[in-house]
A = this chain, B = another copy of it.
Amino acid sequence: MPNRTVFFVSDGTGITAETFGNSILAQFAIKPRHIRRPFIDSIDKAEKVVSEINATFDAEGVRPIVFITLALDDAHQVLTSPRCKGFVMDMFKAFVEPLEVEFGLKSNHRIGRFSDAAKSQEYNDRIEAINFSLAHDDGQSAKNLEAADVILVGVSRSGKTPTSLYLAMQHGIKAANYPLIPEDFDRGALPASLAPHKRKCFGLTIDPDRLSQIRNERRPGSKYAAIENCRAEVREAETMMKRAGISWLSSTHKSIEEIATTILRDIRPDRLIY
């Protein structure tokens, strides 16, 4: 099934259509070709997309799969008309209509949940969280740590930075991160600036073999990347976190999405924006 083409058509960014469509497609052993068509908010634009879908059908001989999130009636009608030769998965219709009954309310046909977000408090909080996480990346600043929602700790390259940025961007969480470095191990204590914030700390650990592999990509053949050194650092870090009563997880087989979701489940879930 290498020839199946998938369209994601939305009157907004199409992020929902794609996130959802990818989840559904992950249930099948296929490798589809993706085509995204965001901001389809007029009949003309919708007609153009239908022409593309039909041309794809004619060229490939199988119906393209078409995930649509269209709140606007005009564009919706064009994509769901019999002229469109795609196999249309209409994400809104299947769920908005039953909810209208359940709520006893009409839906408002609002385009995209990201629209004109610039004015919302929620959005501004997210941007502020991103700036906070950047300013507090890799122990750069101990200033204002009391404003952090969470402080990630762990050895260099255990996944702290991408996880912090993801928590900020996706959830508006102010996530600082602090490396545990050989000097901390020599001293046998957490960095002093973390001591008052132990309860907000969350640890990341990693399999030493995987760590050595990642570090070797950046500094091939260095002591920093050597397996013995990685083993020692990971052991020391885990001992230190255990002694300090900091919960941790292993990032070895986890994506940043999974790490972030686990952290959120453990720490302050009420502060969540998204």
Contacts and interface: CB of A to CB of B under 8 A. Distances in A.
A112 B127 CA distance: 27
Interface in A154-176: 161-162, 165-166, 169-170
B123 A261 contact: no
Contacts of A102: 63, 65, 87
A264 B35 CA distance: 12
Interface residues of A, number: 79
A203 B251 CA distance: 36
Nearest to A133: B165
B99 A165 contact: no
Interface in A108-123: 108-110, 112-119, 123
A45 to B, nearest CB: 12
A192 B254 CA distance: 41
Given A16-B23, A27-B96, A89-B95, A1 B166 contact: no
Interface string A121-133: 0010001001100
A257 B99 contact: no
Given A20-B19, A261-B15, A27 B108 contact: yes
A142 interface: no
B162 A269 contact: no
A255 interface: yes
A16 B27 contact: no
Given A30-B103, A137-B134, A261-B14, A24 B114 contact: no
A212 to B, nearest CB: 15
Nearest to A18: B274
Interface string A44-66: 00000000000000000001010
A187 to B, nearest CB: 28
Interface string A258-274: 10111011000100101
Given A14-B261, A118-B253, A134-B161, 19 more contacts: A20-B20, A20-B91, A22-B113, A23-B69, A24-B92, A24-B95, A26-B112, A30-B103, A30-B105, A36-B265, A112-B258, A114-B257, A117-B254, A127-B162, A127-B256, A134-B134, A162-B169, A166-B169, A169-B169
